[in-house]
Amino acid sequence: MTDRTSSAAAAQPAVDLSLEDAGALAPLVTPAEAAKRVADGAFHIDVRSEGGRVQFGTIPGATVVDRNRLDALFDQTSEQKLPAVQSLDTPIVVSCGSVRGSGPVAVVLRDKGYTDVIHVEGGFDGWKQAGLPTDPPAAS
């Protein structure tokens, strides 16, 4: 795990990131480690699109966060700040469809001063393949 942002990785668009670069953005952990952190009280956010959640399912207990609203939802002085984010020391687990989506979100949160932010290797698919709880896709 790397504790600071790689400037080369941060400069690349998320879709162009390699797995190594995504891990350089913020600590990348296995789904099992992420689930342990959540069980220990970490705030779990799902930054996938609505379409991704509808098509593939959801993670019970994860809070859906619009990646375009990170500033308002995670700013300690914002009236729109999520209640679960009590301080910059709040442990946060970021899930997406892949590390190319979660990595950039994790680094934004770290750049905002959050000290304990990780993202999940394999994203939602990795979480599901690890046998961790998921809810099925929405019925068509």
45-57 pLDDT per residue, tens: 999 999 999 999 9
DSSP per-residue string spanning the chain: --SS--HHHHHS-GGG--HHHHHHHS-EE-HHHHHHHHHTTPEEEE---HHHHHHH-B-TTPEE--GGGHHHHH-TT-TT--TT--STT--EEEE-SSHHHHHHHHHHHHHTT-SSEEEETTHHHHHHHTT---BPPPP-
Tokens of 84: 């679960």
The reported pLDDT for the residue numbered 5 is: 38
CA 91, chain centre distance (Å): 11
> How many Å separate Cα 43 from the centre of its chain?
10
pLDDT of residue 18 exceeding 60, the answer is: no
Looking at residue 98, its pLDDT comes to 85
Percent with pLDDT over 70 in the chain: 81
Out of 21-25, 68-72, 84-88, 90-94, least confident range? 21-25
Is this model's pTM higher than 0.85 or not?
Answer: no
Tens of pLDDT, residue by residue over 97-127, are: 988 889 899 999 999 999 999 999 999 999 9
Confidence at residue 140, expressed as pLDDT on a 0 to 100 scale: 59
Q: Can you give the pLDDT at residue 25?
A: 66
pLDDT of the residue at 100: 82
Q: Which domains does the chain have, with CATH numbers?
A: 17-129 (3.40.250.10)
